[in-house]
Amino acid sequence: MNNIIRTINLTKKIKEVTIVNKININLEQGDIYGFLGPNGSGKSTTIKMMLGLVKPTEGRVEINGYDVWKDKKKALNSIGAMIENPSFYDYLSGYKNLELYKNLYDLPKTRINEVLNIVGLEKEKNKKVKKYSLGMKQRLAIARAFINYPKIVILDEPTNGLDPVGVVEIRNLIRDLSVKENINFIICSHILSEIQELCNKVSIINKGELISEGYVKDLLNQEFDEYFIDTSDLQKAKVILEKFEVVKSISIHDNIIQINIDKGKIGEINKKLALNDIDITSIKKKENTLESYFLSTL
């Protein structure tokens, strides 16, 4: 497998309390990887172990095959990150803040304007950071995370505190970067819809335990289609549907029929009910979301 980041039984205990427990996750080339879990589930602690900022109690992290703790320099040279609540020199401009990193990584001067352009801060680049809005600071932090041409960028809660427009802008920026700069992302978030929109692969952690890891399309792809049927002939419809082989289960809640059926068979259901003179007011499909999946795993 073409693993870029791999954690092996990654564990962190602080004073006998297990904060991260034997986590195994895999990021492969091309992934935008979502790392999802409720507040306090251990996301940031895991990320900090990936970045060599916190030492694992047990297990390890490998980046491009190098152990982050034993071979830190080689492991981390292709990685950029934004950890929770990024900080800057407030009294310096956005440009000057990035200039410090240009010097640190010995990058060409043109790279500063290049990244400021990509994140859409070119007009505000000479403003002091203390005059930046929260969204502008998030953009600057993302610019800083990829200024040194990393192959992997880890973003911890990149849309924290942003309004809906800001959230969409950051999401588009991440998608853009993944294509234009060929960056693999790990996005940490407790917002399920955000991960569902953006990521192809996701792991879910809760109380330090990995609950599941997989491709979003697989997690959302359930065995049966679920529909809600609204009709005035409730009992008659139920009797007919119960006998129909494509129907796997049926129940009635609040005067609505709820059915699980073989995939793609709703047309046959519709036809059957029509042929039996059942008057249908509406048929609605239940769309699967990561949220319903997540709740089903708890």
Ligand X SMILES: Nc1ncnc2c1ncn2[C@@H]1O[C@H](COP(=O)(O)OP(=O)(O)OP(=O)(O)O)[C@@H](O)[C@H]1O
C-alpha to C-alpha distance for 134 and 158, rounded to whole angstroms: 11
Q: Which is nearer to ligand X, 42 or 86 (CB)?
A: 42
Partner touching 19 among ligand X, Mg ion, none, CB below 5 to 8 Å by kind:
ligand X
Q: Which is nearer to Mg ion, 35 or 95 (CB)?
A: 35
Report, in Å, the least distance between residue 177 CB and ligand X.
23
* Contacts (CB under 5 A) with Mg ion, residues 41-80: 43-44
Q: Which is nearer to Mg ion, 42 or 94 (CB)?
A: 42
User: Does residue 107 sit in helix, strand or coil?
Assistant: coil
The two tokens of residue 257 are 């029929």
Partner touching 80 among Mg ion, ligand X, none, CB below 5 to 8 Å by kind:
none
| Site map (CB under 5 A) of Mg ion, residues 178-217, x = contact | ----------------------------------------
| Four-point Cα dihedral 172, 173, 174, 175, nearest 10 | 50
Report, in Å, the least distance between residue 228 CB and ligand X.
33
DSSP 142-168: HHHHHTT--SEEEEESTTTT--HHHHH
Rg (Cα) of the chain, in Å, rounded? 24
Query: Which residues would be at the binding site for ligand X (CB under 6 A)?
Result: 14, 19, 37, 39-45, 190
Task: Determine contact, residues 113/74, Cβ cutoff 8 Å.
Answer: no
* 22: number of Cβ within 10 Å: 15
Report, in Å, the least distance between residue 93 CB and Mg ion.
29
Partner touching 41 among ligand X, Mg ion, none, CB below 5 to 8 Å by kind:
ligand X
